[in-house]
């Protein structure tokens, strides 16, 4: 089946199998490897992509379902070699260690701040319920999100 969708600033047009997940398609066929394969069952959040601006699990979407969609991955955030402020904030506050969960964390931050520019710690905890991190203990991630919010507000 042929699909066509917007990925970051470009268009992807490909032939896909009906049973191919969006996650496998992005990693193996489009080579967007920031989208990680962790649990592959919707629990860990490392395969998060923004689907029409909202965070969803790419392991729980079929590639065919991306047809006509607008999908954002971390590759779409940095512009002209400049990191996005969310990425800057994660660097500044050490919001990661091994980095495996980080693309999902950054996209979840973007979706949260697009909707709620001034989140409380509780708002952040709620928004990140579906993103597991095994390194940081989450404290630095929360600080990174707060810092990103501050930087975005200017």
The residues of the shown chain that bind other proteins, judged by CB under 8 A, are 1, 17-21, 39-43, 45, 48, 51, 54-57, 59-62, 64-65, 108, 125-127, 129-131
Q: Which residue has the tokens 């992807």?
A: 12
Strand partners, 71: 7, 51
| Least spacing, CB of residue 56 vs other proteins, in Å | 5
| Least spacing, CB of residue 82 vs other proteins, in Å | 27
Of 64 and 135, the one with the shorter C-beta distance to other proteins is 64
| Least spacing, CB of residue 72 vs other proteins, in Å | 14
Is residue 44 within 8 A of residue 132, CB to CB? The reply is: yes
Residues 6+ apart with CB under 8 A from 14: 2, 3, 25, 29, 30
Of 79 and 129, the one with the shorter C-beta distance to other proteins is 129
Q: Is the CA virtual torsion 6, 8, 14, 20 positive or negative? A: negative
């Amino acid at each position: 089946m042929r699909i066509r969708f917007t990925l970051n600033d470009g268009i992807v047009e490909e032939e896909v199998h009906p049973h191919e997940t969006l996650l496998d398609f992005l990693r193996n066929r489009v080579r967007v490897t920031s989208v990680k394969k962790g649990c592959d069952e919707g629990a860990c959040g490392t395969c998060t992509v923004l689907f029409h601006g909202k965070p969803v699990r790419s392991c729980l979407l079929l590639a065919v379902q991306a047809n006509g969609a607008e999908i954002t991955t971390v590759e779409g955030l940095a512009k002209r070699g400049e990191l996005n402020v969310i990425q800057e904030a994660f660097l500044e506050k050490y919001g990661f260690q091994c980095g495996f969960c980080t693309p999902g964390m950054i996209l979840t931050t973007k979706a949260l701040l697009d909707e709620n520019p001034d989140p409380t710690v509780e708002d952040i905890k709620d928004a990140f319920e579906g993103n597991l991190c095994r390194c940081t203990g989450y404290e630095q991630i929360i600080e990174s999100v707060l810092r990103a919010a501050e930087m975005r507000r200017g």
